[in-house]
A and B are shown apart, each in its own frame.
Chain A
Amino acid sequence: MDELRNKARELLESGAVQMVIGYEQGTGNKTRAVFVEDPVQVPRLIFDSRCVQNLAVYMTKAEVRKKGKPALVASVPVLRSLIQLAYENQIHDESLVVLGVSPDLKLIEFSNLSEIENYLKQYTLEISIRDKEILQKLENMSADERWQYWTTVLEPCFKCYACRAACPLCYCTQCTVEDNRPQWVPVASHPLGNFEWHIMRAMHMAGRCTDCEACANACPIGIPLNLLTKKIVMDMGKSFGDNGPSLTARNPMSTFRPDDKENFIN
C-alpha cells in the first residue's frame, strides 16, 4: 500500500505523469476509481481484494486522455486488458505508466508493455475450475433447457449497456448496436433485442476477452453474462490453443490454420 502511494507521489511530483488512476474507498463497502492529480490527494489511494473494477477502461476515454499521461494501478486482469489494448493499437509504451499489483498485493514496476507480457506468462488465461463446473452444468442440459435458461436469464436485461461501458475492450466509437444502416440489433430491450445483443457481444469478445468479469460486475440486475464470454474463452483455448492476450501473436479470429479441426461441415 505505502509502496503504491510512494510511487504514485513520486511520479506526480516528478511530473512523469499528470495523473494516477487508482482505487479509493467508495460508498459503503465499495471501492471505486479515483483520479489523483495532486500529490496531496495520494493518501486516498488504496488497494485490496475489493478493487475489481477494470481501470484499463479509462485508457480509451477521451476526457481522461485529455488530462495527460496517466499512471494506472493494474492487477493481473487489468494487465491482460492493457496487453490486448496494445495489440489493438489503442495504447503503446508511451501512453501510460503501469503500477502493477501482484496477487499478493506487491507493487510491480514495468518499464514497457513487453515486460508486462513476460510477467503474465506465469498467469496464462484459464477459466477457473468453479466456472468450468458452471459451464459444464449448462452444457449438460438439453438444448431446450439451455434455451429456457438463457431466455429467462436475459429477459430482465434493459440494455443499459453497463456491461459494454465497463469492458476495457468495448471501446468502439460506434458500437454495432448503434449502427442503424442496417439496424443490426433492435434497439428495444425486448427478448429478441436482448438475445441478439448478448450473443453479438460475446462474439465480439472472441479471442479478445481477458475474463476480468467487469461486465458481470457492472450489471445492475446481476445477469451472469460473463458465462458467455467464459464459454468463448474456453472454446478459444480448446479449438485454437489461444491462452490470453499477446502483443505479437495474431488474434485467433483474424487468422487460421489450414488444419483447423471442426466436425460439423460436410
Chain B
Amino acid sequence: MAEFEPKIVAFVCNWCTYAGADLTGTSRIKYATNVRIVRFPCTGRIDYMLLLKAFGEGADGIIVSGCHPNDCHYTSGNFHARRRWIVFRSLMDFMGIDVRRVHFSWVSAAEGAKWADVVNHAVANIRDLGPYDSYKKLAQNTEREISHG
C-alpha cells in the first residue's frame, strides 16, 4: 500500500516564518507537500485552542514557527508565545497528547533553507509516528453512549 501521508498544519507568523517560506519558494528549494500554512500576524496571535482544533479535525502533526527571540516585528509577541508554549506543551504532554507531533521552531525571513528542513523533518518524523489515531478516535466519538467502565 502507499506510504502514509500525514496531514500537517503550520501556524506561522507573517514577518519571519511566512516570509522565510516565501524565500524557500524564491530559492526554488523543494520540500514535502504535506504542510498547509496558516498565516498569523505574529506568534503572539496564535491561540493554543487552534492547535487542539487542528488535532480534533484530524491533523497528524502541527508546526508552530515564528521570529527568533529578539527579532519579533512587534518586539515581544514571540516571547509571549514562547511562555504560552512552555506551559501548553507541558500540559498537553501531561494529558497524554503526543507532543512529538507538535514541532516548534524559529525560522527567520532569511532562513528559506531552514524552513524546508523544518517541514521535511516534521513530515518524516510524523510519517514514522503514523496517523494520530488516538486523537481522531476521541474526536469521532461524538455520540456519547454509556461507556464500558
**Which of B1-9, B32-40, B92-100 contacts the other chain?**
B92-100
The reply to whether B87 and A235 contact each other, CB–CB distance below 8 Å, is: yes
A-B contact count (CB 8 A): 117
Within B90-149, the residues touching A (CB, 8 Å) are 90-99, 104-106, 134, 138-139, 141-144, 147
A219 lies within 8 A of chain B by Cβ = no
- Partner among B70, B87, B88, B143 whose Cβ is within 8 Å of the Cβ of A190: B143
A151 to B85, CA, bound (A): 22
A123 lies within 8 A of chain B by Cβ = no
B52 lies within 8 A of chain A by Cβ = yes
Count B interface residues, CB 8 Å. 39
Within B34-82, the residues touching A (CB, 8 Å) are 48-49, 52-53, 56, 69-70, 76, 79-80, 82
Least Cβ distance of A184 to chain B in Å?
A: 5
State whether A256 and B83 are in contact (beta carbons under 8 Å apart), knowing that A150-B96, A228-B94, A266-B105 are contacts in the complex: yes
User: B114: nearest residue on chain A (CB-CB)?
Assistant: A266
Within A45-86, the residues touching B (CB, 8 Å) are none
What residues on A are CB-neighbors of B80 within 8 Å?
254-256
User: A256: nearest residue on chain B (CB-CB)?
Assistant: B79
Other A-B pairs beyond A191-B139, A232-B91, A260-B79, 13, CB < 8 Å? A143-B99, A144-B96, A147-B97, A192-B56, A199-B52, A200-B49, A203-B87, A235-B86, A257-B79, A258-B70, A260-B83, A264-B99, A265-B85
The list of the 5 closest CB pairs from A to B, nearest first, reads A147-B96, A146-B96, A256-B79, A265-B104, A190-B144
Contacts from B to A (Cβ < 8 Å): 48-49, 52-53, 56, 69-70, 76, 79-80, 82-99, 104-106, 134, 138-139, 141-144, 147
A sample of 26 inter-chain contacts (CB < 8 A) reads A146-B94, A146-B96, A147-B95, A148-B96, A149-B96, A151-B138, A155-B147, A184-B49, A189-B144, A191-B138, A192-B142, A195-B95, A199-B91, A228-B91, A231-B91, A235-B86, A235-B87, A235-B91, A239-B87, A240-B83, A264-B89, A264-B104, A265-B82, A265-B85, A266-B105, A266-B106
